[in-house]
Amino acid sequence: MKKITILALHLGYGGIERCISNLVNSLCSDYEIEIISTYKLFDTPVFKIDDKVTIKYLITDMKPNKKEIKEALSKFKIITLVKELIKSKKILKLKKELMINYIKNCHSDIIISTRDIHNLWLSKYGNSSSLKIGWEHNFHNNDQKYINKIIKSVYGLDYFVLVSKSLKEFYDGKTGNCKCVYIPNSISYIPKNKSKLDGKNLISVGRLEVEKGYSDLIDVFEMVHKIYPDLKLNIIGDGSLREELQKKINKLNLSDSIILHGFKDSKYIEKELLKSSIYLMSSLTESFGLVLIEASSFGLPCIAFSSANGACEIIKDNWDGYLIENRDKEKMAKRIVNLIKNPERRIIMGDNAYKKSINYKADNIKDMWVELFEEKW
């Protein structure tokens, strides 16, 4: 049985971490799998990982302290800031030393890196007999500095897996001898039950950070609320903007209609999806948008801004949802109102979304990874 090592930053909340979980759970019956996680943020991984998978943590007694540094800066606590900066330098040095040392001594048949810095270290220090793979989840946003960093990081790898077709097309021919391969992310299962689409709930799931565009979504919902005051918008996720977004919700007198649920587990999210009629994505950018596939698997039509490039590969406009160009908030509001007014249209789009989601079943995507491992590309 071949051995696969996956290099991860942590196993906490995040899209990459969810994708790692889905991948290893689909592969662990056929491969010996270990996950090497730099940090141990929680006692157990946030997303369930099969017991057959071995998990090793490199750092168990320290965690990233960006939050503490930011807080010290905002409150002008100079002594605390200096202490946190010294601690941060120590953590980063230890992180680098431990991961490089592990890579140097790793003789697994296949090594998959999930971060650009791990790509770089794997390129430089990885065993020549191992199949070395970089796995990219982020959209570049035409940021040349980021693009150059990514290209440099994969030059010593065998394959560079991109989760969207547009990313593969963009990096093709730029990565030297490292071959670019398109493998989309998968969903862990297709649910037995679909939403009846008869509820008065809209839903969105994601981190409460600038790039997710939730301030714009609140503006959109305010317009919809004037026409359908009994609708509710459930936003599941947490992040640095939670307090700011809650203040905006309160200021607009929408605290009874827009609910910030915070971080919740998958079972909680599934229950909310089953009660919802439309899924909304307001991201400024998105490389893939796994959550759109998950929402589609519950039979929900999805509406997203086309600025989220990954959404454009998942949603077929006017077939299983709507794509809103130029981040036009008024147009998004009109599309939501249109679907609320037309339950038959909602049902047709939801059925189309469900059918599409089957293409992303774990077994289907697993086959693509196995072909890569056997180097049949």
Does the residue 123 lie in any domain?
yes
Structural domain contains residue 30:
yes
Q: SS3 letters for 273-307?
A: HHCCCEEEECCCCCCCCHHHHHHHHCCCCEEEECC
**Same domain, yes or no: 326 and 366:** no
For residues 239 and 42, what is the distance between their CA atoms, to the nearest angstrom?
17
pLDDT at 14: 84
CATH number, domain of 56, equals: 3.40.50.2000
Are 216 and 309 found together in one domain?
yes
Position 195 in a domain: no
Share of the chain above pLDDT 90, in %: 82
pLDDT tens-digit map of 294-318: 999 999 999 999 998 889 999 999 9
What is the per-residue pLDDT for 108?
97
Please state the rounded mean pLDDT for residues 327-334. 98
Query: Does residue 59 sit in the same domain as residue 113?
Result: yes
Give the highest mean pLDDT range of 40-44, 71-75, 107-111, 360-364.
107-111
Which residue, among 243, 178, 230, 216, has the nearest Cα to 330 in the 3D structure? 216
Q: What is residue 147's predicted lDDT score, i.e. its pLDDT?
A: 95
Asked if residue 65 has pLDDT above 70, the reply is: no
Give the pLDDT score at 253: 97
- As a whole number, the mean pLDDT across the chain is 93
Residues 170 and 303 in one domain: no
Domain match, 156 and 10 both = yes
Domain that holds residue 130: 3-188+361-373
Residues 265 and 367 in one domain: no
Cα dist from 281 to 78, 121, 137, 181, whole Å: 39, 35, 17, 26
Number of domains, the chain: 2
**Structural domain includes residue 196:** no
Distance CA 366, CA 216 (A): 36
Mean of the pLDDT values across residues 150-169? 95
pLDDT band at 67 (very low <50, low <70, confident <90, very high): confident
Same domain? 150 vs 234: no
- Residue 120 has a pLDDT of 97
User: Are residues 296 and 167 both part of a single domain?
Assistant: no
Q: Is 205 found in the same domain as 306?
A: yes
Question: Is 7 inside any structural domain?
Answer: yes
Residue 377 has pLDDT above 60, yes or no: no
**In one letter, which amino acid is 275?**
K
Give residue 376's pLDDT: 55
- Confidence category of residue 319, pLDDT binned at 50, 70, 90: very high
Same domain, 166 and 257: no
Q: Which of 349, 340, 351 is nearest to 198 (CA)?
A: 340
**pLDDT tens per residue across span 13-26:** 888 999 999 999 99
Q: Identify the band that residue 72 occupies on the pLDDT scale cut at 50, 70 and 90.
A: low
The answer, yes or no, to whether residue 165 has pLDDT greater than 60, is yes
Q: What are phi and psi of 157, to 5 degrees?
A: -95, 165
The whole-number average pLDDT for the span 113-136 is: 97
Q: How far apart (Å, rounded) are the C-alpha atoms in residues 347 and 333?
A: 19
Q: How confident is the model at residue 64 (pLDDT cuts 50, 70, 90)?
A: confident
Global pTM reads: 0.87
Work out the percent of the chain whose per-residue pLDDT is above 70. Answer: 98
Q: Domain check: are 172 and 148 in the same one?
A: yes
Q: What gap in Å lies between CA 11 and CA 44, rounded to an integer? A: 8
- Render pLDDT for 199-210 as a digit per residue (tens, 0 to 9): 899 999 999 999
